[in-house]
Amino acid sequence: MHFTIAALFALVPTVLGHGLITSPPSRPIGPALMQNCGPKVEQDIRLDNTSHVEGRPELAAKDAMYNAAKCNLWLCTGLQFADNVNNTQIWHASQVVPIKVWIRVPHEGSANVSIVDTKSNKVVGEMLKVWSEGYAPGKKESDVPTDQKEFSVTVPEGLEEKCGAAGACVLQWWWYGTIAKQTYESCVDFRIKRKMPAQRALHV
């Protein structure tokens, strides 16, 4: 059976999975994704930017264009900072940041929101939000409790060095559907601004 590209796109709404951060803006697809992750992974994300990570390593393995050094599928599902530079958030320590998550298709499991060092793909400090179980229950978006879709996190103290430059850290929402065995990740790019010393402010 042959599908034209248009027909393939027409099918998209019925196959879309699962979730992403809608506010602040999370990493979108873009030219850097194509360049670093290759066309197979790019297409998988383009057809469903909310879908799970599992399955993508298989696609990547079959793609000579996949660059493992530049495309880590387990960090922001491979989505690239270069495609989100203009959406870099500027935060300061102790700032309260409201987050909105779109859960298109629930799969009950665990979830967290944390700051991740993009070089090492390691969580920095304590996680900002943890649901150890009971995250995203039910069958449709409205089954998911509102406080799992709209909540805030507080920017930790002491990240001015580590996360001072855009791209060094991300705020990552991570969700694992236990029975579905599917992982979802969505990333907000940010940098931490130093607080202006009070002394200096007086002289402005």
Residues making contact with Cu ion (CB under 5 A):
180
The answer to whether the CB of 18 falls within 8 A of the CB of 104 is yes
- Least distance to Cu ion, CB of residue 19, Å: 10
The answer to whether the CB of 78 falls within 8 A of the CB of 54 is no
Nearer to Cu ion, 56 or 163 (CB): 56
- Least distance to Cu ion, CB of residue 113, Å: 21
Nearer to Cu ion, 18 or 27 (CB): 18
Nearer to Cu ion, 12 or 165 (CB): 12
C-alpha–C-alpha distance, residues 182 and 53, integer Å: 7
Which 3 state secondary structure label does DSSP give 7?
Answer: helix
> How does DSSP classify residue 125?
S
Q: Which residue is nearest to Cu ion (CB)?
A: 180
- Least distance to Cu ion, CB of residue 17, Å: 5
Dmax over CA atoms of the chain, in Å, equals 72
Nearer to Cu ion, 19 or 38 (CB): 19
- What dihedral do alpha carbons 44, 47, 53, 56 form, nearest 10°? -10
- Least distance to Cu ion, CB of residue 182, Å: 6
Nearer to Cu ion, 143 or 161 (CB): 143
The answer to whether the CB of 22 falls within 8 A of the CB of 101 is yes
- Least distance to Cu ion, CB of residue 8, Å: 20
The angle at the Cα of 89, spanning 85 to 91, to the nearest 5 degrees, equals: 145
Q: What is the CA radius of gyration of the chain?
A: 18
